[in-house]
Each structure stands twice: as structure tokens, then as C-alpha cells.
Structure 1
Amino acid sequence: MLPVVAITGRPNVGKSTLFNRLAGKREALVADYPGLTRDRRHCLARLAGRRVILVDTPGVGEGGDWDEALRGQFERALAESDLAVLLTDSRQGLCPADEAAAGWMREAGCAVILAVNKSEGQPREISVAEFHALGIPDPHAISALRGDGVTLLAEAVAGALPAGAATLDADQGRTRIAIIGRPNVGKSTLVNRYLGEERMLVRDQAGTTRDSVPLDFEYGGEPCTLVDTAGIRRRARVDPGPERLSVTQALQAIEQADAVIVLLDAREGATEQDLRLISLALDRGRALVIGANQWDRVPASDRARVNDELARQLKFLDFADLHRVSALRGWSVTKLLDSALAGVESASRDLPTGQLNAVLRRAVEEHATPRRGGRRIRLNYAHQGGKRPPLIVIHGRQTKHLPDSFRRYLARRVRTTFGLRGTPVRIELRTGSNPYKES
């Protein structure tokens, strides 16, 4: 399992700026689930060579009012984390809210590293001096905006994390399939249907699956591991409040999966939360299948309308199979596994360089590249640069100006020519000549 690192602190101390700095991109992968995981953002990041799940928590202590509701929100962030970075503000100095946060962290037994932000232009000793009163050793003076001291902070965080569990090694030779979805869409019912027994607690109540549960089985002679992710996470001493989708659980499962089945409720269509879950799987390049569950509960008179609505909402997933299923009745549930295994096979396939270049030539002949400065963008040579998902590297001239729409066109041509099913295809453009041409 990947360790979870939460960035906590008062509002306006620079948490989101530090989140983006540590994530290594301006707009990190966001999963803010309005109404479910309110104002939290999650992303997969690498800190000093260590892969982690990074969580940007909402500001707590608005106006200095640290009531019980805010404390519950703060404790929920700590409950799912292996380590927290408490961010403070050097310019504002030590505040009662900082002291309260440090005290709650001690009560929760959470490992914590103190970072004093907005310390640019000051000696470290002066920036951190008054924050020693929090009782957290070795505070780091940083500037999240400029990046000063952030590398040392990342190294300290990575060094303080627990050793990662070798979960992937135990699954070598097995196809690992994650089943993710909002609470109460039927994930556990689907797993029980596959296994033929009541292995998982199933009730008509959201949140009865508390953790991600791996289950081994064989399908068509293929050894597989299913993971049913928790739709809600409840911890001791934490008021559950509104039902919450555990984004951290979903990220953990996606990171370790070969294929992802996103289960949604056909009666509700693809909600914003469903689309954000799909985006998590796409960001990691996993083979993807969509299951519209509870199809048996959609009235026959409404099915054509529901079909049209799903097609409209999911039109960007032109590579992923959509199956209308009933986990309760067993309708079409094996099609989900067939598509998942087909997606893994497609994602792992070798694509010969000669055939890739033939695809590139035909694609450009049939649809010319746009002009830049009076000259057409040239795409000269293609080769495979990776698998899971397939990565196609294309060399040419002025490739940085190639529109995203043309990238998508090339990806579709590769998928259709090679019959790739259920996997995204990524296109990487490089400016330069054929790297394999003899000089």
C-alpha cells in the first residue's frame, strides 16, 4: 500500500501551493468530490524517490473558531494518513489555531513534520524560532511559492514514512482487477456474484464495505485478484458525518491494478463523482471497463433514454467497453471480466515499429497536419515507448504545436489498426530526426 501524506494547517498558509509544488505540476490530479470529500484534493506523487498519495486538506480554523465540527474534519484527515505536514505562516507568526492543531495531532498519535512557510528572505533560525513552542522537532523553513527548502522537506517526509508493504510482489502472475464506484452501487454484490458465495458483507446501506479487500479466484483459467474498494471510510473516534467516498482507497486500488471496473448506477447515469473516478483511472493509464449496474431496475420504457444519456456522458471513453449489468441477478456480469482481461492484453501488447510507421503515414495522408508559420508540422517516425498503457513516441518537426485533437486522432488510428480494446493509448511527441537512422 502506498503511504498517505496529508498537508494540514490554517487557511491561507499556502497548503495548495505546497501541494502543487510537491505534486510536481501546476494543476495536480484533483478529486474534490463536492459533497462527499469536501474540498480535499488527492494525487499520486513522488517525494525523494518515494511514491505516495498526497492529500491537500481544507483550511481549518476559519476565523479562529475551532469548534467540534472543525475538529472532526481535521481528525478525519489525520485518520487516513500515515504522516501529516503541519504548515504554518512565518509572516503571521504562531497562532492559537496552530497550537490547537499540534495538540490534536499528538492526541491522534499522528506522525507530523512542521513546515514554516513564507520564510523567503529570512534566516532559518529567525523564521522558525517561535514555532519551537509547538513541541515538534526540526521545523523546516520553506517557501512553497518559490520552492525554497521544499526539496529538504520532501526528503524528510520520505524518510519518516513507514516501509511500504510489498503487495505487488504477492500478486505476480495474477491479473489484479479493481472494482471502484460510489457507495452502494453494488460493488460487493458484484464480487460475491463472481465468487459464488457471500464473501463480503452486503446490505442495502452505503458504506458496508469498510476497506479494500483483495480476493483471489480464477476466471477462464486465468488467475485473478479482485479488489472491492470501500465506498465509505469510518474510523474509531471519528464522527462519520455524511457518507464519503474514500478517494484514498480508490487511488490505492487503482495504483496496484492492471484493470479497473468502474461501477455506476444506471438509474442515475454517470454522476460527477463517477466521472472523477474514471479520471483517476485514466490518469494512471489503466485498462478500463464501465459497468452500468442495476439495469434490471431501469423500466423498459426508459432504457432507450438511459442508453442515450450514458452515450452522451461517456463519449470521451471511445476505447472503453460499457456493459449494462445487474450484479444482483447476474445479467452480463461476465462481460465485465472479459473486457477487463481484454484490456490488460491490449495494454501489454508489442506494437511493431514498421507497422506503427505505416499507420502514421496513412493517417497523415488521409488527414494532413496543420500548418505552422506557413509550413506543415512534420511527423516523421514512430515507435513504441512503453506498455500499460501503450505509449507511442512520434518524432518530427514543430511537434509541440500539434493540436490535442490531432493527438487524439492518431491514438484512435493506432487503436483501430491494432485492435486495441479497453486501454488508453498515449502519444508522446518529440522534435528531431529519426533516432534510429544510421549516420
Structure 2
Amino acid sequence: MTEEEYIPSSTDTVDDDLAHMTDEDHNARTEAYLAGLQQYDLEEDDHQILAGFEDEEAVEEVSFVPPVVAIVGRPNVGKSTLVNRIIGRRQAVVEDVSGVTRDRVFYDAEWNGKPFTVADTGGWEYGVKGLDAKVADQAERAVDVADAVVFVVDATVGITATDEAIVTMLRKARKPIILAANKVDGQSQEADAAGLWGLGFGYPYPVSGLHGRGAADLLDSLVDELPEESAYKDVLTAQGPRRVAIVGRPNVGKSSLLNNLAGANRAVVDELAGTTRDPVDELVDLDGQIWEFIDTAGIRRRQHMASGSDYYASLRTRAALDRAEVAVVLLEASQPLSEQDVRIIQMVLDSGRAMVLAFNKWDLLHEDRRDDLEREIDLDFQHVAWAPRINISAKTGWHKNRLVPALETALDSWETRIPTGQLNSFIGELVAAHPHPVRGGKQPRILFATQSSTRPPKFILFTTGFLEPGYRRFITNRLRQYFGFQGSPIEITMRVRERRRR
């Protein structure tokens, strides 16, 4: 035995003993432990914890869906800069090169008390091929589901052939159009904006997405055109969808998986690594249940080493994890597990989200590679052996039916709470069979245990001394063996308390 691990000296009968205990037995033991704990000096917040954690907040029902505004324009006219101005925070990825935004990305916004959703899009171009054509297609899809459109034009350049082609596309959509003459940074440039009357969409609002000039007038006009709620709200369920982030290194197949699940080209897919820059949200119906999937940018390198759009995309991937409830970590089965894969898994662990490991391109895997992969998993992923594993093909949809059961298992574990009586009986039986080692003539004891929260499950142990990391890992592993928690991280913290002096 070393300080890093705790190895029990013998087997035990904890499971059998607990199986024969009744609720009355659990409660009696808990009351005895709680009475003993009162002999120790407790802090004010200790009493709040011991009083029991409150029920989880009910999932907020979604009865109102705000209207959607699509922001469209040719590349590099400042759409994402204007989006950041409208939503009041720097969230859309902005860089001083064209083509940074590629997918349609949704953000919450509000103006004068009216909530709405902003759909930022990639630059629209006519007659392009390859990746640019896919980006343009996403912009057109955003217009299709929008209640109104803000058409952004660079006032300093004037009307281009691409702008005129966008006009033709927008007229077919038959949506309210607000014309934004962007990059009007001063009064001397307002004459440039006046030249945009020729587009036929009425008054061109002179704005500066960078400095905010004229944004208020633009927003006043926009909210007047918006309906009370979106005309495309029927895809939402009553209580709102479960949120799933798809994470992984670049070009591992995240966008292909989202498109296959959605049954449409929802995210831009290209052989070029790093196609996705912003998190992409999509509501997907799987087996009659609506899920909100969030496709994220691939993590290329350590955040402090990234620059430009890669750096901000990394930040947004972390923010997407914060919004999600469960993460699907997509790994390429045909390639050796990399440091990036391990780092991404650690990012999910740090976020406290439930987790599913999905090995992509498994249907193309050679038998010899499968043996190597199993060894790599045993070596590198021991600390997440509790995460459900599925083998899929993001491109063809092979075994995608296994994703929902794995997600449901992980989410159920993430939201599991153990009654305090059962928890203390379990800890009591476990410690009696396997006490903490004596160190320096002292042996710390566990006085009381409680689960302080769920999502993820967090446990607090009141102790007479510091529990070694190896012993805490032993308790964690046994909690998983007895109570499950497949797919969810577990957090155990200690509160060391001294006996009250008389």
C-alpha cells in the first residue's frame, strides 16, 4: 500500500449486510451518527447542510419561444461584430479575416424588454463551391426559420454584385428585412449609407458594430417588426429539451454526427480540420424525444497556446459545456488516443457534466486495431471507466440508436440522490470493514455523511481528520459499485471537525 492507493486487506460483506437493513435501520443509524456529531464544533453552514439539501428546482417549462432574427450578408461585412453589439457581450467569434463564422449560431438577446434570438450566419456568396457553398447554404437555412432578417452591408464599400444576389435570395424568403449599413463610424460616412437605398429595402440604418453607433435606432426598428413569439416554436417540448454537447478534437466527426442525428446538413462539414468555430445548436427528435445537441469547435491545443479564432472558439466550447447537461466525447477509433483526447476528457470532468464516450468509425476498424484500442483505453481512461462507451459511425449512422440509452443512463446517474439514511449505513458498514490506515498514531474517522447536491452528485464527509486521497478514491469506487453512477462524475469533500471542549 502506498499513499496514492488504498488496497483492502480482505473482502467484505457490505452489500449483503445492507441488503438486509430496513429504512428504520437506516434512520436509526443516521440519528445515532448525527447525535454523535453534535459533540463536535460545527460551523454555521454545517447546520444548514445537516438540515438536508432542498429539492432540486423543477425544470423550467418552456411555454414561450422568442422570435428569431437572422443576421445575413456577404463575407467580412462585420456581421459577428454587429451580433456582439446586439446581444451586449462578446460571444460570436470575430477575427480580422473573412469567413470566420461558418455555421448558423443562435444567441439570446433583449431590447427594451422584448426578448428575441439572434442567428449569426456565415458570409453568403453566389455560385461558390465546396466549403463556401456549405456556409452559404447554412445562411439560407437561417433565413428560412427566421421571423425577421437584418441584412448587413459594408457602407464603406457600397453595393456589390454579391449584395445584389443576396437581395434576390431575401425577396424570395418574404420576411421583414431591416437594412444595416455597417462600418459607419462617424457622421462623415453617413453619406455612404445613403447610397444603399438602391437595394430596395427602405431606410439603410447607419451603424457601427464596432463602436455601437446607431445600434439603438436599428434595434428599435427591428423589435417593431418582430411578432410576439416565434412562428417556429412547435419543435420544443413542454419542459424543454435535454442539452448535449458534442466535444472532441478537430475533424473527429462531431459535425457529421450532428448532421446524421438531425437528418439534415445542420453543421458545415468539410475535410478541412477546424471547420466549426462557434457552438452550433440543433433540436433533434430521437425516438420521440427532443434533444438539444450542441456541436462545438475542436480543441486544437492548450488554451494558453491558441490564438485568434482558435482561442475564442476554445472559450466558447467551454461555455457550451457549461450550458450542457451531458457531453458526448467523440474519439476516432482508428487513430491512437492522443494527449488532446485526454485533455478534452479532463475539460468535461472539470465542468462537472455527465459523460458518454463515443468511438467513431468503429465499423471500419481492423481487428488488430481493436485489440490495441482496448489496451489504450485501459491505460489512458482508467479514471473515466465509469463513463458509458458506445461504438458508432457518425457518417453512416451505424449504431446511432445506442446513443440515447447511453445519454439517459448518464443523465439519470447525474441526477441521482441517495437518502441520507442509506448513505450513512453504507459508509458505516464500509468503514467498519475497511478502516482508514493509522498515520502518525492517529486514525481519522468518518462521523457523518450527506449528499449536498446533484448534477453532479456531491458528497460531504464530516471527519475527525484528513482522509488520504487513496482512501477517498476507495470510497468513491465503492459508491459506484453499490449505487451505480454510471456516466456521472462524483465529488467528495471533507469537513474536518474537532471535538467540542467542555
State the TM bucket, normalised to the shorter chain: 0.5 to 0.7
Q: Deviations over 1:328-372 (max 9, x none)?
A: 222222323322222111111221001101211222123221213
For 1:263 and 1:232, the matched residues in 2 are separated by 12
| Mapped pair 1:332 → 2:406 | no
What does residue 464 of structure 2 align with? 397
User: Which of 338, 343, 367 lines up with 1:300 in the alignment?
Assistant: 367
Matched residue, 2:256: 189
Deviation track 1:187-217 (CA, whole Å, cap 9, x = no partner) reads 0111111112222222222122232111112
Q: CA deviation at 1:395?
A: 0.9
CA distance, structure 1, for counterparts of residue 329 and residue 468 of structure 2: 30
Conserved 8 A contact 2:329-2:356: yes
In 2: Cα distance, 1:351 partner to 1:260 partner: 23
Aligned partner letter, 1:426: E
| 1:231-280: CA deviation from partner (whole Å, max 9, x where unpaired) | 379xxxxx999988932122011111100011111122321111111111
Match of 1:276 in 2: 343
**Contact 1:206/1:243 (<8 A) preserved:** no
Deviation at 1:322, TM superposition (A): 2.1
Residue 220 of structure 1 corresponds to which residue in structure 2? 287
Contact 2:248–2:299 at 8 Å: present in 1 too?
no
Question: Is the 1:348–1:387 contact (alpha carbons within 8 Å) kept by the matching residues of 2?
Answer: yes
What's the CA shift for 1:183? 0.9
Q: Within 1, Cα distance between the matches of 2:389 and 2:463?
A: 36
Aligned counterpart, 1:386: 453
Contact 1:209-1:232 at 8 Å conserved across structures = no
Map Cα deviations across residues 72-114 of structure 1 (whole Å, 9 max, x no partner): 9xxx9xxxxxxxxxxxxxxxxxxxxxxxxxxxxxxxxxxxxxx
Mapped contact 1:289–1:422 kept (Cα < 8 A):
yes
In structure 2, distance between residues paired with 1:427 and 1:357: 14
In structure 2, runs of 5+ residues without a counterpart are 1-88, 101-235, 301-305
Tell me what 1:420 maps to.
Answer: 485
1:137-194 CA distances to partner (integer Å, 9 max, x unpaired)?
xxxxxxxxxxxxxxxxxxxxxxxxxxxxxxxxx9963210000111100001111111
Task: State the distance in 1 between where 2:455 and 2:441 align.
Answer: 38
State the 1:433 CA deviation: 7.7
1:263 matches 2:330: yes
Taking a change above 3 Å as real, the CA distance of residues 240 and 281 of structure 1, as seen in their structure-2 partners, is closer
Distance 1:226 1:434 in 2: 51
Residues 287-344 of structure 1: CA deviation (Å, up to 9, x unaligned): 0111111223321232122222222211111211222221122222232332222211
Task: Provide the C-alpha distance between the structure 2 equivalents of 1:354 and 1:291, rounded to a whole number of angstroms.
Answer: 36
Alignment-derived partner of residue 108 in structure 2: none
Q: What is the correspondence of 1:61-210 to structure 2 with a 5 Å cutoff?
A: 173-210=240-277
Displacement, 1:405?
A: 1.3
Rounded Cα–Cα distance in structure 1 between residues aligned with 2:471 and 2:399: 35
Name the amino acid aligned to 2:491.
R
Paired amino acid for 2:313? S
Selected match of 2:278 from 199, 211, 231: 211
Q: Give the equivalent residue in structure 2 for 1:375.
A: 442
User: Aligned in 2, Cα 1:322/1:244: closer, same or farther, shift over 3 Å?
Assistant: farther
CA gap of 1:321–1:336, structure 2 versus 1, over 3 A, is: same
Letter in 2 for 1:367: H
Offset of residue 432 of structure 1: 2.8
Q: Aligned AA for 1:423?
A: S
Partner of 1:341: 408
Distance 1:334 1:278 in 2: 23
2:474 equivalent in structure 1: 409
1:373: Cα distance to partner?
A: 3.1
Q: 1:353 to 1:333 in 2, by over 3 A?
A: same
DSSP-derived class of the 2:297 partner:
coil
Would you say the 8 A contact 1:183–1:231 is kept in 2?
Answer: yes
**Could you list the per-position Cα deviations for residues 31-78 of structure 1 after superposition, in whole angstroms to 9, with x for gaps in the alignment?**
xxxxxxxxxxxxxxxxxxxx999xxxxxxxxxxxxxxxxx99xxx9xx
Find the counterpart in structure 2 of residue 432 from structure 1. 497
- Partner amino acid, structure 1, of 2:376: E
Structure 2 distance, partners of 1:300, 1:275, is: 24
Secondary structure at the counterpart of residue 416 of structure 2 = coil
Instruction: Provide the rounded CA distance (Å) in 1 between the counterparts of 2:374 and 2:255.
Output: 24
CA 1:377–1:275 in structure 2 vs 1: closer, same or farther (change >3 Å)? same
Structure 2 counterpart of 1:373, one-letter code: G
Q: Which residue does 1:250 correspond to in 2? A: 317
Number of corresponding residues? 265
Structure number with the bigger relative contact order (C-alpha 8 A, sep ≥ 6) is: 2
Pair 1:329–1:378, CA change in 2 (3 A): same
Secondary structure class of the residue paired with 1:192: helix
Instruction: Say whether the 8 Å CA contact 1:380–1:433 is kept in structure 2.
Output: no
Residue deviations 1:6-40, cap 9 Å, x none? xxxxxxxxxxxxxxxxxxxxxxxxxxxxxxxxxxx
In 1, are the aligned partners of 2:387 and 2:488 still within 8 Å (CA)? yes
**Local SS of the residue matching 1:264:** strand
> Counterpart of 2:381 in structure 1: which amino acid?
L
* Letter paired with 2:454: K
Q: Distance in 2 between matches of 1:244 and 1:274?
A: 18
Question: Structure 1 residues 337, 269: CA separation in 2 closer, same or farther (over 3 Å shift)?
Answer: farther
Q: Secondary structure at the match of 1:371?
A: coil
Q: 2:422 aligns with which of 318, 337, 355?
A: 355
Structure 2 residue aligned with 1:48: none
Checking the alignment, whether the CA contact within 8 Å between 1:347 and 1:423 is kept in structure 2 is yes
Residue type matched to 1:337 in 2?
A: V
> In the alignment, residue 489 of structure 2 is paired with which amino acid?
P
Match of 2:189 in 1: none
Instruction: Quickly say closer, same or farther: Cα 1:244–1:305, change in 2 above 3 A.
Output: farther
Equivalent residue, structure 1, for 2:75: none
